[in-house]
Amino acid sequence: MTRKPKPIPDFKSEADERAFWETHDSSDYVDWTKAERIRLANLKPSTKAISLRLPVDLLERIKVAANKRDVPYQSLIKVWLSEKLDAK
């Protein structure tokens, strides 16, 4: 037996919509069994290149640490920065 989804309310702003979905389960409002997979080929990556000057010895130590973990050093720097910010 399939239940009918609840109607999605109209929102005054994106902030109102965000607040709503943070506190409601989308499965009450959307029949996910009818969802179709799509490819969004023209999306731009949500990253931004920056220039960061590091002392040579620090960069070499980072590269060694990344090599031990078998990951690119830029990826390791991103992980470390994220972990440090999340720890606060």
Domain count for the chain = 1
DSSP of 31-71 = -GGG------TTPPPS---------HHHHHHHHHHHHHHTS
Parent domain of 77: 56-86
**DSSP structure class, residue 30:** -
Residue 73 lies inside a defined structural domain of this protein? yes
Residue 14 lies inside a defined structural domain of this protein? no
Residue 46's pLDDT band, with cuts at 50, 70 and 90, is: confident
pLDDT at position 35 over 70: yes
Which residues have CB under 8 Å from 23's CB, separation 6+? Answer: none
What would the mean pLDDT of 47-65 be, rounded to a whole number?
A: 95
d(CA 37, CA 34): 10
Residue 30 lies inside a defined structural domain of this protein? no
d(CA 9, CA 20): 9
Question: Which of the two residues, 17 and 40, has the higher pLDDT score?
Answer: 17
Residue 8 lies inside a defined structural domain of this protein? no
